[in-house]
Amino acid sequence: MHQLSPADVRAAADRIAGAVRPVRVVPGGPGGVWLALEHMQHTGSFKARGAVNFLRAHRDAGTLPDAGVTIASGGNAGLACAWSALQEGVRATVFLPVNAPAVKVARLRGYGADVRLAGDEYAEALAACEEHAAASGALASHAYDHPLVAAGAGTLLAEIRRQVPDLDTVVVSVGGGGLFAGVATAAREHGVRTVAVEPENCRALHAALAAGAPVDVPVDSVAADSLGARRASADALAAARHATVRTALVPDTAIVRARHHLWEDHRLAVEHAAATALATLGTTYHPAEDERVCVVLCGANTDLTTLTTPAA
């Protein structure tokens, strides 16, 4: 299998130029903490980058079938795939767990996707998606475990560095590891450290590191709708083994507090997955006094009514 490289990320940047919104980086408070507002990306998450890269690469290669593209997703990757398919004029069939947020299902249908609900978690939706691809001939994309998808996500790093040229560390949330693998691969080339943050009870990357290979884990977190992958990708595991990477776990209570803080203090409405990255600062990751840190806020597809609920 092709292993993700910095060259893949650079090629993705060229391929998706003009199709996605360049990320905006803003001060996140006192000290050297910055926030990358990727939750303002098309479809409300970083996933648009990988989806565009995936479809355009297949378009350029002449391998987009008449049956279109299909994907299994907790929601955000499906939204990105459906949106990108709409731009390319191809059909999209999206499989989601039955507990996917209603706001994501409604938006998928708004992009013209054929939405199919299957199973209680991502792994079951993925199995249904694979069956559909085999039967229909549709091009099977993946929410995170594909070099083109991860490379697209990794294009974030260069955009961040252009705005914070003396960046020391980038902090990202991890579910299956597509965002982390892409960003860490790009960051390593420039000597930038990566902190990979998972909820305590959605620890696919931690489990893979401990086992020496991707393994299945249970998922149970307030952020599981986006970070609830049962296993991490091989590219994520390979990236995590480098000395420039540190991993961290955060409890749900810290995630909820971080999300509430982003709303109350910055008026930034993000999903729990985005708050997971911020939750590590001052809890399970303590930056040095002069460290320049950028936290990626990766998604905004959330129930806005929950933002006014006080954090515990």
pLDDT at position 31: 72
Position with higher pLDDT, 172 vs 3: 172
pLDDT at position 312: 52
Residue 100 has pLDDT above 70, yes or no: yes
pLDDT at position 1: 56
pLDDT at position 74: 64
Round to whole Å and give the CA distance between 72 and 143: 7
DSSP E strands, 207-262: 245-250
Range with lowest mean pLDDT among 94-103, 123-132, 209-218: 94-103
Residue 134 has pLDDT above 70, yes or no: yes
Query: Which amino acid type is present at position 102?
Result: A
Q: What is the mean pLDDT of residues 77-95?
A: 93
CB-based contacts of 53: which residues, under 8 Å, 6+ apart?
12, 15, 16, 148, 149, 151, 152, 155
Q: How far is CA 162 from CA 24, 122, 165, in A?
A: 10, 35, 6
Q: What is the mean pLDDT of residues 256-274?
A: 94
pLDDT bin (cut points 50, 70, 90) of residue 223 is very high
Residue 310 has pLDDT above 60, yes or no: no
Round to whole Å and give the CA distance between 307 and 56: 36
pLDDT at position 48: 96
Q: What is the mean pLDDT of residues 100-112?
A: 85
Round to whole Å and give the CA distance between 235 and 229: 14
The rounded mean pLDDT for the chain is 92
Helix (H, G, I), strand (E, B) or coil at 93: strand
Dihedrals phi, psi of 47, to nearest 5 degrees: -60, -25
Residue 101 has pLDDT above 80, yes or no: no
Residue 311 has pLDDT above 70, yes or no: no
Dihedrals phi, psi of 194, to nearest 5 degrees: -125, 130
Strands 33-36 and 25-27: antiparallel
pLDDT at position 83: 96
pLDDT bin (cut points 50, 70, 90) of residue 90 is very high
pTM for the model stands at: 0.92
DSSP 45: B
Q: What is the mean pLDDT of residues 104-112?
A: 89
Round to whole Å and give the CA distance between 293 and 271: 21
Structure confidence by residue, pLDDT tens digits, 55-70: 999 999 999 999 999 9
The residue length of the chain stands at 312
Element housing 193 (H / E): strand 193-199
Alpha helices in 137-233 (DSSP H): 147-154, 156-163, 178-189, 204-211, 224-227
